[in-house]
């Protein structure tokens, strides 16, 4: 099956696929299509061999040195990273941010 390699290498992606399959099956059932809800999507993905590994956070003692590196350029990624460090906000609010939405002068003063 073409989906099996994903289940073997990327556990988080496989979980998202399973959730989508379940939504599709339920939607098809609501539309009165001939679907078997007892068939699990796990059968399509195969057995999961991959285990997710934890990526430890940066040690708090290294943050100031890392922040200084971020101050060297004003790319959108560096500005967003500095904003994240300064405010402690989640990355959700930064995922689709545009450079025009960041006042560089405010962030430049923090270096």
Residues 6+ apart with CB under 8 A from 35: 25, 28, 29
The pTM of this model reads 0.43
Contact criterion met (CB below 8 Å) for 84 and 94: yes
Phi, psi dihedral angles at 8 (to 5 degrees): -85, -25
Among left, alpha and beta (phi > 0; psi -120 to 50; other), residue 12 is alpha
Percent share of the chain, pLDDT over 70: 66
Q: What digits encode the pLDDT tens for the residues 60-100?
A: 899 999 999 998 887 888 888 888 888 877 777 777 777 77
Rounded distance between C-alpha atoms, residue 111 and residue 105, angstroms: 11
- How many helices and strands, by DSSP H and E, does the chain display? 6, 0
State the DSSP code for 10.
-
């Amino acid at each position: 099956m073409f989906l099996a390699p994903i289940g073997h290498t990327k556990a988080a992606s496989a979980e998202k696929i399973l959730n989508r399959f379940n939504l599709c099956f339920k939607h098809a059932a609501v539309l009165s299509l001939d679907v078997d809800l007892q068939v699990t999507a796990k059968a399509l993905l195969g057995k999961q061999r991959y285990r997710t590994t934890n990526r430890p956070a940066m040690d708090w003692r290294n943050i100031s040195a890392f922040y200084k590196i971020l101050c060297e350029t004003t790319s959108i990624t560096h500005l967003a990273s500095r904003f994240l460090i300064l405010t402690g906000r989640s990355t959700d609010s930064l995922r689709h941010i545009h450079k025009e939405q960041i006042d560089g002068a405010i962030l430049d003063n923090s270096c």
